């Protein structure tokens, strides 16, 4: 019998987590992994951190009042039910009806989650078995590629049509689907390209999902900030899709309340029964004070119009300033508070990202983190900072540095 050889600490990690790195032993360039990105705060402008108006305060008075009342009443020290406050679920159901064209029962079709990141993970995990394949449009939110792996499933990138504004290429979906395909995982509007998928494309995707008997999980974190009259369509509202779609939303982006960590899932009875049943084991309970503050935000969301005006100005500033740099390509974002910038004519996007930290004092995101189709691009958050003027100055420093950049 061979002598016993103990495993290293790293080898004891489950296979599905083996490739995950948090920055303790190697350099990690993703803004939301480890603390290497956050540690630059105060030294550079963090235009890779998708936190509205960060680091400046952005709490509406009605929300601030609700938080104070929750603390002073003492109720904030207690749990809500793991599925979330019924009062909050009722407010969400109203929004689903008016904005998403979905008639949902707050007692049966809505669950509150501690932010939409955990909500997205939970939304997927009840469906996926080891070896299942998940179709992920590329480029896409990085978690869309990692989450399936953590569940033992296989993410399958499906290139979006870059020449058509990163809309769907249904031929690519048909080429990617196999008998092992279980799910399509969509971010809509898309992060990082800010694309709003059009009704025609979503109808084609719905037909594809139904024909291949798949589940659609859709992350709609940026649904509240759509520009230029572009129609926003919730896939769950399309014929035949309610029973096949799980919708994940957040108050972090459009409402600018990222620190409260409140998200929610909307789904049919059959799916929600499982989400309700496992919530205490997987999610726990979302912060009580945060839920009370979210109720106040839904009841008076007038502050969002001012936010949208800021984002509108800043997306135009970004296009004007960065679009004037030779070799840089940028389209006016259709949604959100970030822009997708093609710097492939200038050089390698990772090298340019590092260069901008040194030469412009601004940290941005490397497009490679968003899939193979992101190679050569940068994601720049134009919604950070409380001041439009400071945002414009940071964008100008980026532009000036890019003009000086040499391969």
Q: Return the HEC string of 150-208.
A: HCCCEEEEEECEHHHCCECCHHHHHHHCCCCEEEEEEECCCCCCCCCCCHHHHHHHHHH
CATH code, domain with 321:
3.90.1150.10
Residue where a domain terminates, one of 281, 299, 317: 299
Are 371 and 330 found together in one domain?
yes
Tokens of 82: 């793991």
For position 11, what pLDDT does the model report? 74
Number of domains the chain is built from: 2
- Alpha-carbon gap, residue 30 to 22, rounded angstroms: 10
CATH code, domain with 111:
3.40.640.10
**Main-chain dihedrals φ then ψ at residue 183, nearest 5 degrees:** -150, 150
Q: Could you tell me if residue 4 is inside a domain?
A: no
Are 240 and 356 found together in one domain?
no
Per DSSP, the three-state class of 49 is coil
For position 40, what pLDDT does the model report? 74
Are 164 and 245 found together in one domain?
yes
Q: Could you tell me if residue 2 is inside a domain?
A: no
Give me the tens of pLDDT residue by residue for the chain, a chain 407 residues long.
566 677 777 776 777 787 777 766 666 666 666 666 667 767 889 999 889 998 898 899 999 999 999 999 988 899 899 999 999 999 999 999 999 999 999 999 999 999 999 999 999 999 999 999 999 999 999 999 999 999 999 999 999 999 999 999 999 999 999 999 999 999 999 999 999 999 999 999 999 999 999 999 999 999 999 999 999 999 999 999 999 999 999 999 999 999 999 999 999 999 999 999 999 999 999 999 999 999 999 999 999 999 999 999 999 999 999 999 999 999 999 999 999 999 999 999 999 999 999 999 999 999 999 999 999 999 999 999 999 999 999 999 999 999 999 76
For position 20, what pLDDT does the model report? 76
Q: Are 138 and 159 in contact, with CB atoms under 8 Å apart?
A: yes
What pTM, to 2 d.p., does this model score? 0.94
Residue where a domain terminates, one of 299, 319, 340: 299
Are 195 and 340 found together in one domain?
no
Are 233 and 219 found together in one domain?
yes
Q: Could you tell me if residue 220 is inside a domain?
A: yes
Q: Could you tell me if residue 226 is inside a domain?
A: yes
Residue where a domain terminates, one of 273, 299, 325: 299
H or E stretch including 389?
helix 388-404
For position 32, what pLDDT does the model report? 62
H or E stretch including 250?
strand 245-250
Q: Could you tell me if residue 1 is inside a domain?
A: no
For position 10, what pLDDT does the model report? 75
H or E stretch including 377?
strand 377-381
Q: Are 160 and 138 in contact, with CB atoms under 8 Å apart?
A: yes
Are 325 and 337 found together in one domain?
yes
Are 209 and 271 found together in one domain?
yes
- Alpha-carbon gap, residue 343 to 377, rounded angstroms: 5
Are 49 and 67 found together in one domain?
no
Are 197 and 345 found together in one domain?
no
- Alpha-carbon gap, residue 110 to 391, rounded angstroms: 37
**Domain range for residue 153?**
61-299
Q: Could you tell me if residue 3 is inside a domain?
A: no
Closest C-alpha to 265, from 276, 256, 257:
276
For position 2, what pLDDT does the model report? 67
- Alpha-carbon gap, residue 36 to 34, rounded angstroms: 6
Are 88 and 160 found together in one domain?
yes
Tokens of 369: 């983190």
- Alpha-carbon gap, residue 296 to 147, rounded angstroms: 32
H or E stretch including 293?
helix 288-299
Are 234 and 98 found together in one domain?
yes
Per DSSP, the three-state class of 106 is coil
Q: Could you tell me if residue 362 is inside a domain?
A: yes
Q: Could you tell me if residue 69 is inside a domain?
A: yes
Are 342 and 270 found together in one domain?
no
């Amino acid at each position: 019998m061979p002598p016993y050889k103990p495993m290293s600490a790293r080898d004891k990690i489950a296979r599905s987590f083996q490739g995950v790195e948090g920055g303790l032993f190697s350099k990690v360039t993703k803004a939301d992994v480890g603390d290497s990105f956050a540690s630059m705060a105060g030294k550079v402008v963090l235009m890779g951190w998708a936190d509205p108006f960060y680091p400046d305060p952005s709490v509406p008075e009605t929300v601030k009042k609700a938080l104070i009342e929750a603390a002073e009443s003492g109720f904030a020290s207690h749990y809500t039910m793991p599925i979330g406050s019924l009062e909050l679920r009722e407010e969400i159901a109203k929004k689903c009806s008016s904005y998403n064209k979905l008639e949902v029962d707050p007692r049966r079709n809505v669950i509150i989650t501690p932010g939409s990141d955990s909500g997205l993970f939970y939304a997927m995990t009840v469906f996926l078995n080891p070896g299942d394949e998940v179709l992920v449009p590329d480029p896409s939110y990085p978690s869309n590629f990692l989450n399936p792996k953590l569940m033992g499933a296989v993410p399958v990138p499906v290139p979006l049509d870059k020449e058509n504004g990163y809309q769907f290429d249904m031929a690519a979906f048909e080429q990617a689907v196999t008998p092992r395909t279980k799910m399509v995982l969509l971010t809509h509007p898309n992060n990082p390209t800010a694309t709003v998928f059009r009704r025609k494309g979503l109808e084609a995707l719905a037909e594809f999902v139904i024909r291949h008997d798949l589940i659609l999980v859709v992350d709609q974190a940026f649904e509240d900030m759509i520009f230029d009259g572009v129609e926003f369509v919730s896939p769950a509202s399309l014929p035949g899709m309610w029973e096949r779609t799980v919708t994940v939303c957040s108050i972090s982006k459009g409402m600018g309340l990222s620190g409260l960590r409140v998200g929610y899932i909307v789904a049919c009875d059959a799916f929600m029964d499982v989400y309700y049943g496992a919530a205490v084991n997987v999610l726990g309970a979302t912060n009580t004070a945060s839920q009370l503050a979210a109720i106040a935000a839904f009841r008076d969301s007038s502050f969002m119009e001012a936010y949208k005006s800021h984002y509108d100005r800043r997306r135009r500033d970004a296009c004007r300033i960065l679009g004037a740099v030779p070799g840089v390509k940028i389209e006016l974002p259709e949604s959100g508070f970030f822009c997708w910038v093609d710097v492939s004519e200038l050089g390698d996007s990772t090298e340019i990202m590092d260069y901008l930290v040194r030469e412009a004092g601004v940290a941005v995101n490397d497009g490679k983190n968003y899939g193979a189709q992101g190679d050569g691009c940068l994601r720049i958050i134009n919604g950070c900072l409380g001041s439009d003027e400071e945002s414009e100055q940071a964008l100008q420093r980026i532009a000036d540095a890019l003009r000086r950049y040499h391969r």
